[in-house]
Amino acid sequence: MFIKRNNFIRLSAIIGFIAINFAVSANTMAAVIYYLKGNDTVIGELRTEIAGLNDTLLDIGRRNGFGYQEMKLLNPDVDTWLPGLGKEILLPEKFILPNAPKIGIVLNIPEMRLYYYPEVKAGEEQQVITYPLGVGREGWSTPYTKTRIVEKKKDPTWTPPESIRKEHADSGDVLPAIIPAGPDNPLGAYAMRLGLGDYLIHGTNKPYGVGMRVSHGCIRLYPENIEDLFNRVKIGTPVNIVNQPYKIGELDGVIYLEVHPYLDEDGEHFSQNSLTEVVKYIIEITEQNRYEIDWDLVKEVVAGSKGIPVPIGLHLPELKQASTADVIAEDRLKPVTGKMTNIELRLDTEINN
Report how far apart the first and last C-alpha atoms of the chain are (Å, whole number): 19
DSSP β-bridge partners for residue 179: 158
The catalytically annotated residue of 168, 216, 218, 269 is 218
With CA atoms as reference, report the closest residue to 225 among 236, 211, 237.
Answer: 211
Distance CA(69)–CA(73), nearest Å, equals 6
DSSP β-bridge partners for residue 152: 192
Q: Virtual CA dihedral for 270, 271, 276, 278, nearest 10 degrees?
A: 70
DSSP β-bridge partners for residue 337: 48
Beta-carbon contacts of 16 under 8 Å, excluding residues fewer than 6 positions away, are none
Q: Angle between the 15-23 and 57-64 helix axes, to the nearest 10 degrees?
A: 50
With CA atoms as reference, report the closest residue to 90 among 45, 41, 144.
Answer: 45
Mapping DSSP onto H, E and C, the string for 38-69 reads CCCCEEECCEEEECCCCCCHHHHHHHHCCCHH
The catalytically annotated residue of 202, 216, 260, 315 is 202
Classify 32 as helix, strand or coil.
Answer: coil
The phi and psi torsions of 247 (rounded to 5 degrees) equal -130, 140
With CA atoms as reference, report the closest residue to 102 among 152, 39, 194, 150.
Answer: 39
Cβ 102 vs Cβ 117: under 8 Å: yes
Does residue 218 carry a catalytic annotation?
yes
- Tell me which residues are annotated as active site: 202, 218
